[in-house]
């Protein structure tokens, strides 16, 4: 049934799940969303990336009919969010940034109530709740009040509640913020699964890595404006490549290691005066193998080696000329990927 | 994930508007939610349990002798008065709780679901009639324990209880409106008390109107609460009903007709 519907939509209205033009929302004199355009193809995962206060939540709330845009327009599968909100609501599932489930009730009760509101009969609702709880690994906790749920469980229940009607478009506002790495990976799998089943997902995140893992296309927003849009690769190239960081076991090797790097990688390198860490951009990942062999041949022992991806902060610096909130932390916190 | 072929709710067709039957169904589901919440947190029934007991005891023994000569004679006067006062005061809680509830994330989900817009409000108000019922039963029970024997008989007493519950439900739309437009739950409580306190006390609920100064009598006789109290007294004490009952019902209807749409409109405007 759901598929038929989706097919029909695709045939009728090209294949845009979301088309937003010039969305604006102001709170007082704060232009929280300032002319945002978004086009999300049906069947894809679209990531909206931005720091705190960029306007991600505000933008999603407008698309999900929770907030009326001050200007601009948006269509969900061709249906206008302002003129046909009730139709749009039949096409979307929303998992907000903050848990939108009933704290005082149990997981089962929550799902049953949402199912009943969506038109399921008594027995159907019970069945649906059971199915979803099983799918999201919440069966054991089903009867407990949510007050005692962990953040991850709450998040999963929240997502489960958004999937009752199997909506063709799902909004996820920072689905993994506050989750531990294992739970985060589970959430990613769930999201991929949803798309495999034909849903479209629009998610927001503060992490480039998450957008990288999941999204087919990304919009970077800052201060209410889209500052970059494209595929993950396009975005990355615009930001610059990863960089290599290494430290030698013996300080006297630093200079030789540095020369080896510059010779093999054919790039400039830097040495940190604090901890003697050498860093260099990686233009061709293959050459890193050659570098490691050369270092071994020169009998230079390494204490530490890492490749750092461009951080969201670097994306921002590059795109907007200003960094994220914490300028002081800028050089300290980096996402590292061990080699 | 279960196979995507079993979703009974996926959209056979997209409906532009919610039908009346859907509105009723959604409201009933939301009322069911309200009842579940009460069951989960029974301590929120504290006020409707103790207020009728304490107020009935207090007022009867304090004023009984002064106003009617003795407690026995005061009971037919005070029990209907206390009943109206207590149950209507209880309806303030509806507005306060609605405000608290709306600040929680779950209301975002209700707003994003394709349900009747009125359902979250109507459901909450409907569930609260259970509170009014508890207060009503307890007040009559207290009266009975203290020796109140209504001449109207049990049927009319039950009818008067229903009347009070109905009117309180109507009045709760006023507080629901405050709940929707106010910023904080405590301000709802504040505004509601300021309105309700004079209305319930400047009535014939506790004291005969004849003992009041002329200008006050004018207000008290106008006060719809007085008409409701009189209607309840007529039903309980003599099994009769008349103009006061009609006025009470008309008043209730007018309140709902004005405040229900107003409340729903403000609720929707916040989206
Ligand atoms: N209801 C509101 N009233 C007033 N200002 C608001 C409201 N909601 C958001 N804002 C402001 O709008 C701006 C954008 O907020 P928004 O929540 O959309 O950001 P965000 O990108 O979701 O941030 P975060 O990553 O912290 O969730 C912020 O400056 C915020 O203070
Ligand atoms: Mg946000």
3-class state of residue B270 by DSSP: coil
Residue with CA closest to ligand 1 atom 29: A53
SS (H, E, C) B181-227: HCCCHHHHHHHHHHHHHHHHHCCCCCCCHHHCCHHHHHHHHHCHHHH
Residue A264: name the closest of A242, A289, A297 by CA.
Answer: A289
Q: Is the distance from CB of A104 to CB of B41 less than 8 angstroms?
A: yes
Give CA torsion, residues A286, A287, A290, A294, to 10 deg: -160
Q: Is residue B7 part of a domain?
A: no
Smallest Cβ–Cβ distance between B1 and the set A90, A128, A193 belongs to A193
Asked if A113's CB is within 8 angstroms of B113's CB, the reply is no
Residues from chain B that touch A109, judged by Cβ atoms under 8 A, are 36
Average pLDDT along chain B: 87
Residues from chain A that touch B4, judged by Cβ atoms under 8 A, are 2-3, 166, 197-198
Asked if B30's CB is within 8 angstroms of A104's CB, the reply is no
Q: What confidence category does residue B166 fall into, taking pLDDT thresholds of 50, 70 and 90?
A: very high
- Residue in chain B closest to A167 (alpha carbons) equals B10
Residue with CA closest to ligand 1 atom 18: A55
Q: What confidence category does residue A310 fall into, taking pLDDT thresholds of 50, 70 and 90?
A: low
Segment holding A8, helix H or strand E: helix A2-12
State residue B270's pLDDT score: 67
The whole-angstrom distance between A221's CA and the closest CA on chain B is 23
Q: Which CATH fold topology does A241-308 show? A: Alpha-Beta Plaits (3.30.70)
Interstrand relation of A169-173 and A92-95 (parallel, antiparallel or unpaired)? parallel
Q: How does DSSP classify residue A310?
A: P
Provide the residue ranges of all domains of chain A, joining segments of one domain with +.
Answer: 3-237, 241-308
Q: What confidence category does residue B4 fall into, taking pLDDT thresholds of 50, 70 and 90?
A: very low
Residues from chain A that touch B15, judged by Cβ atoms under 8 A, are 86-87, 90
3-class state of residue A220 by DSSP: strand
Q: Where are the alpha helices (DSSP H) in chain B?
A: 20-40, 46-68, 71-102, 106-112, 119-127, 129-145, 154-181, 185-201, 214-222, 224-238, 243-269
Would you say residue A339 has pLDDT above 60? no
| Owning domain of residue B106 | 13-269
Give A282 or B165, the one with higher predicted confidence. B165
- Alpha carbon distance A38, A253 (integer Å): 51
Segment holding A247, helix H or strand E: strand A243-248
State residue A151's pLDDT score: 82
Average pLDDT along chain A: 84
Ligand 2 midpoint to CA B80 (Å): 53
Residue with CA closest to ligand 1 atom 28: A53
Asked if B108's CB is within 8 angstroms of A118's CB, the reply is no
- Residue in chain B closest to A95 (alpha carbons) equals B109
Q: Is the distance from CB of A67 to CB of A27 less than 8 angstroms?
A: no
Residue A164: name the closest of A120, A202, A201, A122 by CA.
Answer: A120
Q: Which CATH fold topology does A3-237 show? A: Rossmann fold (3.40.50)
Cβ neighbours of A4 (radius 10 Å): 11
Give B134 or B4, the one with higher predicted confidence. B134
- Residue in chain B closest to A128 (alpha carbons) equals B7
Residue with CA closest to ligand 1 atom 1: A27
Query: Mean pLDDT: which of A5-14, A278-287, B87-96 is highest?
Result: B87-96
Residue B160: name the closest of B184, B130, B136, B125 by CA.
Answer: B136
What pTM was estimated for this model as a whole?
A: 0.79
Q: Which residues of B touch A (CB under 8 A)?
A: 1-2, 4-5, 7-12, 14-18, 22, 25-26, 29-30, 32-33, 36-37, 40-41, 104-115, 119, 271
Q: Do domains A3-237 and A241-308 have the same CATH topology?
A: no
* pLDDT (tens digit per residue) in B9-66: 344 577 777 888 999 999 999 999 999 988 888 888 888 888 889 988 888 888 888 8
Q: Is residue B51 part of a domain?
A: yes
Question: How far separated are the first and last CA of chain A, in Å rounded?
Answer: 47
Mean pLDDT of B217-224: 90
Would you say residue A290 has pLDDT above 80? yes
Give the full edge-to-edge strand order of the sheet including A71-76. Answer: A30-41, A16-27, A71-76, A79-80
Tokens of B214: 């002329």
Q: Is residue B187 part of a domain?
A: yes
Inter-chain Cβ pairs, chain A and chain B, closer than 8 A: 123
Residues from chain A that touch B22, judged by Cβ atoms under 8 A, are 119
Asked if B17's CB is within 8 angstroms of A118's CB, the reply is no
Asked if B36's CB is within 8 angstroms of A86's CB, the reply is no
Smallest Cβ–Cβ distance between A104 and the set B14, B30, B41 belongs to B41
Residue with CA closest to ligand 1 atom 3: A27
- Alpha carbon distance A177, A152 (integer Å): 10
Asked if A64's CB is within 8 angstroms of B112's CB, the reply is yes
Q: Is residue B55 part of a domain?
A: yes
Give the number of the ligand closest to the Cα of residue A172: 2
Q: Is residue B21 part of a domain?
A: yes
State residue B227's pLDDT score: 92
SS (H, E, C) A149-213: CCHHHHHHHHHHHHCCCCCCEEEEECCCCCCCHHHHHHHHHHHHHHHHCCCEEEEEECCHHHHHH
Residues from chain B that touch A127, judged by Cβ atoms under 8 A, are none
State the total domains in chain B. Answer: 1
Q: How does DSSP classify residue A309?
A: P
* pLDDT (tens digit per residue) in B106-133: 888 998 999 998 899 999 999 999 999 9
Residues from chain A that touch B9, judged by Cβ atoms under 8 A, are 115, 118-120, 164-166
- Alpha carbon distance B184, B178 (integer Å): 10
The whole-angstrom distance between A101's CA and the closest CA on chain B is 5
């Amino acid at each position: 049934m759901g598929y038929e519907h989706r097919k029909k939509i695709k045939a009728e209205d090209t294949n845009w799940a979301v088309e937003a033009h010039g969305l604006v929302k102001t709170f007082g004199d704060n232009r929280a969303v300032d002319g945002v355009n978004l086009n999300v193809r049906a069947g894809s995962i679209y990531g909206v990336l931005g720091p705190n206060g960029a306007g991600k939540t505000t933008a999603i709330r407008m698309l999900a009919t929770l907030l009326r845009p001050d200007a601009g327009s948006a269509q969900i599968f061709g249906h206008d969010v302002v003129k046909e909100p009730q139709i749009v609501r039949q096409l979307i599932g929303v998992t907000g940034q903050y848990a939108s489930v009933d704290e005082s009730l149990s997981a089962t009760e929550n799902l049953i109530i949402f199912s009943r509101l969506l038109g399921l009969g008594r027995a159907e609702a019970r069945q649906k709740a059971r199915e979803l709880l099983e799918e999201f690994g919440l069966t054991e906790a089903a009867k407990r009040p949510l007050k005692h749920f962990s953040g991850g469980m709450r998040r999963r229940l929240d997502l489960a509640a958004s999937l009752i009607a199997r909506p063709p478009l799902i909004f996820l506002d920072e689905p993994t913020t506050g989750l531990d790495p294992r739970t985060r990976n589970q959430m990613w799998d769930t999201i991929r699964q949803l798309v495999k089943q034909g849903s479209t997902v629009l998610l927001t995140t503060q992490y480039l890595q998450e957008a990288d893992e999941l999204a087919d296309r990304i919009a970077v927003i800052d201060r209410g404006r889209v500052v970059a849009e494209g595929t993950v690769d396009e975005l990355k190239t615009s930001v610059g490549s990863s960089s290599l960081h290494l430290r030698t076991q013996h300080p006297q090797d630093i200079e030789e290691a540095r020369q080896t790097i510059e010779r093999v990688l054919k790039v400039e390198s830097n040495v940190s005066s604090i901890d003697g860490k050498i860093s260099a951009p990686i233009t061709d990942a293959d050459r890193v193998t050659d570098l490691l062999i050369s270092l071994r041949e020169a009998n230079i022992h390494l204490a530490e080696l890492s490749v750092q991806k461009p951080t969201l902060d670097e994306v921002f610096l590059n795109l907007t000329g200003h960094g994220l909130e914490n300028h002081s932390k800028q050089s300290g916190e980096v996402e590292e990927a061990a080699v | 994930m279960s196979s995507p072929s079993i979703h009974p709710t996926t959209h056979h067709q997209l409906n532009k508007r919610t039908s009346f039957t859907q509105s009723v169904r959604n409201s009933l589901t939301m009322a069911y939610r309200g009842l579940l919440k009460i069951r989960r947190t029974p301590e929120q029934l504290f006020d409707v349990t103790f207020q009728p007991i304490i107020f009935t005891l207090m007022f009867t023994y304090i004023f009984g002798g002064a106003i009617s000569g003795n407690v026995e004679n005061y009971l037919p006067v005070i029990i209907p008065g206390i009943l109206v006062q207590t149950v209507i005061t209880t309806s303030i809680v509806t507005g306060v709780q609605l405000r608290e509830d709306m600040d929680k994330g779950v209301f975002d989900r209700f707003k994003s679901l394709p349900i009747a817009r009125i359902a979250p409000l109507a459901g909450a108000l409907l569930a609260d009639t259970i509170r009014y019922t508890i207060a009503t039963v307890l007040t009559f029970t207290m009266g009975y324990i203290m020796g109140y024997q209504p001449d109207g008989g049990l049927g009319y007493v039950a009818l008067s209880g229903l009347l009070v519950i109905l009117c309180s439900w109507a009045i709760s739309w006023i507080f629901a409106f405050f709940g929707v437009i106010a910023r904080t739950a405590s301000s709802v409580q504040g505004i509601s008390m300021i309105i309700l306190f004079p209305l319930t006390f400047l009535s014939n609920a506790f004291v005969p109107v004849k003992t009041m100064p002329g200008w006050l009598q004018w207000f008290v006789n106008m006060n719809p609460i007085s008409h409701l109290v009189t209607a309840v007294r007529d039903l309980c004490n003599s099994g009769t009903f008349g103009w006061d009952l009609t006025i009470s019902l008309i008043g209730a209807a007018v309140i709902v007709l004005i405040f229900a749409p107003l409340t729903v409109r403000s609720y929707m405007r916040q989206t």
